[in-house]
A = this chain, B = another copy of it.
Amino acid sequence: MEQSSTEEATAAAGGSRIQRRNRARISEAALDVFAQHGYRGATLDQIAERAGLSKPNILYYFSGKEEIHVTLLNQLMDRWLAPLRRIDPDGDPLTEILTYVRRKLKMSQKYPRESRLFANEILQGAPRIAPHLEQDLKPLVDGAAATIQGWIDAGRIAPTDPRHLIFSIWATTQHYADFAAQVGVLVEEKSPTDGAEQFLTTLFTRMLQPRRD
């Protein structure tokens, strides 16, 4: 009894080696397809082919297209919110925020498909992730905004709206993943994110450096 509950409860790392391997393959393939075509534009056949499995076999591991999508979204949210959690209210304000910016930029660089998956979901009105936003993201952002507001009130960074500051960090960092096709046309460098790190550091330093009013 205890065993069966352990087996089925989290459904995270559970299952045999085969189960873990094939679930991973499917997630990998589905991430490609959903990130590029969005939920409705993705097909099980595409996912199956890219995963090297047959379509019925995929439906042996996931109950349907939607479950695959939701699973990806859940995995994503953890990774996505991690950098925000690491902002330390007791750290140096400018350092904390610039570190956050660099972490977010690294995420765009390292997980562009995750960024696009998320962008697609939000573009479509967040039909499947809205609960997560409300329950997980919102309190986190409220906390971060309070921290930043505290820094502002203490005169340690220049005053501004914390929430819009956070939006601007998300927007500018994720842009390099979500709009890579456009950035690639307009920039010669092999890796535009190199120039991006330099630029964003400057942008948010100038924005936040405390100034005598």
Contact = CB atoms under 8 A, between A and B. Distances in A.
A196 interface: yes
A161 B172 CA distance: 14
Contact of A164 (B36, B40, B199, B207): B199
Contact of A38 (B120, B163, B170): B120
B206 A158 contact: yes
- Copies of this polypeptide in the complex: 2
A123 interface: yes
Nearest to A40: B41
A209 to B, nearest CB: 8
Interface of A: 35-42, 116, 119-120, 122-126, 130, 133-134, 137-138, 141, 158, 160-161, 163-165, 167-168, 170-172, 174-176, 178-179, 181-183, 185-187, 195-196, 198-200, 202-203, 206-207
Give 9 closest A-B pairs by Cβ, nearest first.
Answer: A40-B41, A171-B175, A164-B199, A126-B181, A41-B41, A171-B171, A38-B38, A133-B185, A171-B172
